């Protein structure tokens, strides 16, 4: 049983939703015997907290963020603003399924390297679109291991990008659903005296 009794660390955004579970990063709490950052999840169906295993190859001493890339949980490990690794959990909840997707070093294109968020794969899945430092987009070529800035017209300044998945399923207003149930019940039964 996972005990949840201290605050979550949400450096960027409000958590990410993967497999019906909302994820955040929890900071270390030495007084509580927790010496390492943890990825925690809140299952929206069962309303239970869980701890998500971290990538085995991720080294200690990094800033940790979570993201989502095509429905897979990502761990973004920032090592002293010099190097960032992006890990993808290919099979949710399976520690062995973490795969290092890419590793980015501080360059002329990205300096400083304070924040990176994976957003989407290209059409042929050979590149990943990244948001960098809330200031620019870059394409990261997975084969060549090189970045190319994305030019956007106008002056964006700082920004935050979020990816969402559209749905044709309408979320009903609870009041409308209750009225429909009442209508069904009143039509389905007739009082006979």
64 has pLDDT over 70: yes
Q: Where are the beta strands (DSSP E) in 47-145?
A: 48-52, 63-69, 72-79, 83-89, 98-105, 116-121, 127-132, 136-141
Could you tell me whether strands 83-89 and 98-105 are parallel, antiparallel, or unpaired per DSSP bridges? antiparallel
Rounded to whole angstroms, how far apart are CA atoms 55 and 35?
Answer: 16
**Could you read off the pLDDT of 138-150 as tens digits, one per residue?**
999 999 999 998 9
Place of tokens 């997707």: 101
Residues 6+ apart with CB under 8 A from 124: none
Contacts of 63 (CB under 8 A, 6+ apart): 11, 77, 78
| Rounded Cα gap, residues 86 and 178, in angstroms | 45
pTM for the whole thing? 0.76
Give per-residue pLDDT as tens, 17-62. Answer: 999 999 998 877 767 666 678 899 999 989 999 999 998 766 666 8
The 10s digit of each residue's pLDDT in 91-109 is 999 999 999 999 998 877 6
Tell me what pLDDT residue 172 has.
64
| Strand, helix or coil for residue 153 | coil
């Amino acid at each position: 049983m996972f005990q949840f009794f201290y605050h979550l660390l949400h450096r960027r955004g409000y958590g990410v939703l993967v497999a019906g579970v909302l994820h955040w990063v929890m900071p270390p709490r030495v007084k509580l015997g927790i010496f390492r950052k943890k990825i925690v999840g809140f299952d929206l169906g069962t309303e239970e907290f869980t701890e998500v295993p971290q990538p085995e190859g991720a080294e200690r001493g990094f800033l940790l963020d979570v993201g989502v890339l095509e429905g897979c949980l990502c761990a973004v490990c920032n090592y002293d603003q010099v190097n960032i690794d992006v890990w993808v959990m290919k099979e949710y909840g399976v520690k062995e399924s973490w795969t290092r997707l890419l590793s980015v070093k501080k360059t002329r294109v990205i300096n400083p390297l304070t924040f990176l968020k994976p957003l989407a794969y290209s059409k042929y899945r050979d590149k990943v679109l990244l948001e960098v430092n809330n200031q620019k987009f870059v394409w990261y070529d997975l084969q060549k291991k090189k970045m190319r800035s994305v030019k956007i017209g106008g002056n964006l300044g700082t920004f935050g990008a979020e990816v969402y998945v559209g749905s044709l399923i309408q979320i009903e207003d609870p009041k409308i659903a209750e009225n429909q149930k009442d209508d069904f019940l009143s039509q389905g039964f007739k009082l006979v005296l």
